[in-house]
Structure 1
Amino acid sequence: MKTLVLAGVSTLALSAAAMAADKTLTISVYSFSQDEFKELVYDPFERICGCEIVVETGNSIERMAKIEANKDAPVIDMAVLSTHDALGAARNGLLQPIDVSALSNYDKLYDIAKDPLGDNMGVGYTFYATSIAYRSDKVTVDSWADLLSPELAGNVALPDVTTNQGPPALYMIGKAMGDTDSSLTTPIEAVGEKADDIVTFYVRSSQLAQLMQQEEIWAAPVGRFAWGRFKDNGLPMAWAEPKEGQTGGMNVMVMTANNGNEELALQFMDFWLSTEIQTALANALIDSPANSEVVVSDEVAANLTYGAETVEQLDLLDPATILDKRESWLEQWNTKVMK
C-alpha cells in the first residue's frame, strides 16, 4: 500500500517549490483510522510539500465549536464535515468559498461531490450509501416499506431520528409510501403506529451489529461504511437494493474563513482528491471514492459505495433540509414514536 501511494504521489502535479518549507497546515478531521490516514495521506503530503500537518480530531460538535470559538483568529485551516454540519458552519460565516479552479482533480469528481453546499463552500471527498442489511434466510427485502411489514414485526430495528441514518431512512420509507415531503410526517406517523413492532431505535451501528449477531433482529437500515460488521458475522446476510433506491450521506472538505493559509490548504485538498490517494484509501476500506477515476477490485468494491451506477442512484437529503427541519422532525418523533 505504501509503495502504491508513493508511486502515485510522484505523478501528481504538485509543485513543492510553491510551498514554503516552514509552513504548517492545521486540519480538523474525524478521529477514525488516523493511523491509516497518517500513512496514506498526511506523511506523503508532508514529504512533497516540506511542510508540517497538525491534525486535530474529535466529534463534530467539538470540532465545530473550536472553529466558531476562533472565528476572528482561525486556528484551523481546513476541515472535513458532514454536508449539513458544513452548511451550518457556512451559514454562521465560519467558512469561505473554495477556489475550485486551483483543484486539478476537481473535474474527476462525481457530479454530486462537486458543489453539494452551493457557492463552492464545500467539496465532497467521500460518501456512503444507506440501505437495509437483512437476514437472507429469514426474509426478502425489496422495498423500504418492508421494514414495517408483518413479516418483520418484532425483528426489525430502525435508526433514531437524531442519528445521521435516521432522517434519510424515514425519507425513503415515506418515498415507498408515495410521500416525499421533507416534513417526514407520513413516515414518522407510520413508524409511530408500528412502534411496538420495532425492537429498538438504535443510535450506534455497533449496537445494531450486536443485535444482528445475537439474532434479535433480522433487518435494519445501515450505512455502507458499517457493512463489513454485518456481512462477516457468520450469518446469511444481504444488502438490499430497494426499488425506491438507496439513500446515504456525504462528507465534504471545507476552508475556514480568513485563515491566511489558503494556498497550502488548497494543495492539500487537491492531493487528497487525487486518483492515487483516493484509490489508496478505497483499497484500505477507509473511504468510498468521490473521484470517478478510481478503480478497485470487485472484492474491495463490495465493501464500498462504488461506481457511477451506484452513485447516480443515491437519493440524498439536501443538507439545507436537514438543518431547517431537524427540530420539527425531533418534535414529531417524540410525539408520535416515543410517546
Structure 2
Amino acid sequence: MKTMTSTLALAGLAVSAGGAFAQGQTLTINSFGGAYEEAHRECVITPFEEATGATVQIVTAYSADAFAQLRAQASAPQFDVIHFSGGQEIVGAEEGLLSPIDPAALENAGNLYDFARTNLEGGEGPAYSIAAIGLVYNEETAPETPTAWADLMDGTYADHIVLTDISNGYGMLGFLMLNQVQGGSLDDIQPGLDAVSQLLENGAFVVSTSPEIQQEFAQNDAWIAPYASDYAYTLSSAGLPARFVQGEEGTPASFITANLVAGRDNQELATQFIDRTISAEAQACFAEALRYSPTNSTVELADDVAADVVLGAEAVEGLIRFDPIKIEENRSDWVDQWNRTIAR
C-alpha cells in the first residue's frame, strides 16, 4: 500500500489544528459492531483521538435503528456524527435532522468522486466506503461458479441457497436486485416475493444476520448467498472457501456515509472527524481490513486488495443505487410482505 503523502499531510494538519480546543471534548457516534467496529476504531477513531485529544463514544447501532433513534431524539439528539449504509442521509437531510457541510471545511472533499459528495450543502454527508452486493459462493462445494443473479433460480443450487432477511440492509438490496431481474421494480416487488417463495419451496432458507451466514457456510453446506463483497472477505479470512462475484445483470451497492447531526454544539470537531473518515489513509485502511471500495480517488491499494474491491471512477459509477427515499417510504410494508411470504 502506498502512502498518499500530500493528502494525508493536509488531513493531519486539519486535525492537529483542532487538537488544542478538542482536548477533553467528546464526540458521540454510531458504529455497526463486530469486525466493522474494530476496523472503524483502527482506521478512524483511534487516530482521531490521538491527533486531537478528544474522546469518541460509540453507540453500536445499524443504520435503520440509528435513524429511528435520530428521529425520536430530534429535539435533543445524542449523536454528533451518524453513519448510514442504507441511504437514510437523504431522508434525514430532507427532514432537517442533519446539518449542511461546507465542502471547504473538509480538506479531503475535493478528492472524492462526484457521487460521494453530491449534496453536502444540503445535509447529506459524504460517502466514504462502498459495499458491493453480489453472490457469495463456496468455491469448493458449489457445482459451478455462479455468474448471474438469475442463477439463484437454477435448481442446481436448490437447498444450498442462503437468503438474508430484508430487515438487514444487505438483504434488502439483494432482494431488490432479485426482484429487478425477475421483472419487478420499486413499484412492484411481487416478482421478487414470488421468486423467494419458489426458492423456499426448493429448500432455500432465510437467516437474519451476517454471523448466521458464516454458520451456514461452515456447518450446513451452504453454496451460495446473495450478500456483500466485504462479508465474502470475512468468510475467507475465517478460513472458509468463500468467494464473491458480481452478477452480470448489475451490482447494487450500499453507500456508507458519515453525517453531521443538527442541533449539536461541537460541529466543528464533528466535521473534523468526518474529514478524517474520508481521507485516503482511512479509506485505504477500510479497504485492507474489510474490502470496502473507496470513494477517495487518490487511494492506492496493494494488488491483492485492489483485486477484491470495485476500484476506479468508471467501475464505481456503474454500481446500482436503489432509490433510498423509496426504500424508506416502503420499508415497513415490504418487510411485512416479506414476513408473510417466508412464513408460508
Q: Please give the range of the TM-score, normalised by the shorter of the 2 chains.
A: 0.7 to 0.9
Of residues 321-330 and 170-179 in structure 1, the stretch that sits farther from structure 2 once superposed is: 170-179
Larger helix fraction of residues:
2
Give the direction of change, closer, same or farther, for the CA distance of 1:294–1:217 in structure 2 (3 Å limit): same
1:307 aligns with 2:308: no
Matches of 1:293 and 1:266, distance apart in 2: 20
Of residues 165-174 and 145-154 in structure 1, the stretch that sits farther from structure 2 once superposed is: 165-174
User: C-alpha displacement at 1:126, in angstroms?
Assistant: 1.2
Deviation track 1:150-179 (CA, whole Å, cap 9, x = no partner) reads: 212222121122221222212222332343
1:129 aligns with 2:132: yes
User: 3-state DSSP class of the match of 1:93?
Assistant: coil
Query: What are the ranges of 5 or more consecutive residues in structure 1 without an aligned counterpart?
Result: none
Deviation track 1:211-235 (CA, whole Å, cap 9, x = no partner) reads: 1223532111111121124335666
Match of 1:253 among 254, 258, 279: 258
Matches of 1:10 and 1:281, distance apart in 2: 19
Match of 2:216 among 208, 211, 214: 211
Matches of 2:264 and 2:311, distance apart in 1: 34
Of residues 3-12 and 156-165 in structure 1, the stretch that sits farther from structure 2 once superposed is: 3-12
Contact 1:28–1:63 at 8 Å: present in 2 too? no
Of residues 8-17 and 139-148 in structure 1, the stretch that sits farther from structure 2 once superposed is: 8-17
Give the direction of change, closer, same or farther, for the CA distance of 1:213–1:97 in structure 2 (3 Å limit): same
Match of 2:284 among 279, 282, 288: 279
1:168 aligns with 2:170: no
1:27 aligns with 2:32: no
Matches of 2:300 and 2:4, distance apart in 1: 14
Deviation track 1:88-115 (CA, whole Å, cap 9, x = no partner) reads: 4445432222222322211211233223
- What are the within-5 Å matches in structure 2 for residues 1-339 of structure 1? 9-12=8-11, 13-14=13-14, 16-17=16-17, 20-22=20-22, 24-30=25-31, 31-32=33-34, 33-34=36-37, 36-49=39-52, 51-60=53-62, 63-64=66-67, 67-68=70-71, 70-115=73-118, 119-136=122-139, 137-231=142-236, 237-285=242-290, 287-339=292-344
Of residues 52-61 and 17-26 in structure 1, the stretch that sits farther from structure 2 once superposed is: 17-26
Contact 1:157–1:198 at 8 Å: present in 2 too? no
Give the direction of change, closer, same or farther, for the CA distance of 1:205–1:54 in structure 2 (3 Å limit): closer
Letter in 2 for 1:28: I
Aligned length: 337
Matches of 1:134 and 1:247, distance apart in 2: 17
User: C-alpha displacement at 1:236, in angstroms?
Assistant: 5.2
Percent of aligned pairs sharing the same letter: 28
User: 3-state DSSP class of the match of 2:326?
Assistant: helix
Matches of 1:236 and 1:47, distance apart in 2: 38
Contact 1:19–1:264 at 8 Å: present in 2 too? no
Matches of 2:322 and 2:163, distance apart in 1: 18
Q: RMSD between aligned alpha carbons?
A: 3.1
User: C-alpha displacement at 1:138, in angstroms?
Assistant: 0.8
Letter in 2 for 1:44: P
User: C-alpha displacement at 1:275, in angstroms?
Assistant: 1.4
Deviation track 1:17-72 (CA, whole Å, cap 9, x = no partner) reads: 456435524131213455554444334334444x4133222223664455445533
Matches of 1:172 and 1:189, distance apart in 2: 14
User: C-alpha displacement at 1:237, in angstroms?
Assistant: 4.2
TM (norm. structure 1) is 0.85
Contact 1:40–1:281 at 8 Å: present in 2 too? yes
Give the direction of change, closer, same or farther, for the CA distance of 1:64–1:135 in structure 2 (3 Å limit): closer
Matches of 1:175 and 1:11, distance apart in 2: 43
Matches of 2:240 and 2:161, distance apart in 1: 16
Give the direction of change, closer, same or farther, for the CA distance of 1:267–1:244 in structure 2 (3 Å limit): same
User: C-alpha displacement at 1:252, in angstroms?
Assistant: 1.0
Query: What are the ranges of 5 or more consecutive residues in structure 2 without an aligned counterpart?
Result: none
Matches of 1:117 and 1:201, distance apart in 2: 37
Contact 1:97–1:119 at 8 Å: present in 2 too? yes
TM (norm. structure 2) is 0.84
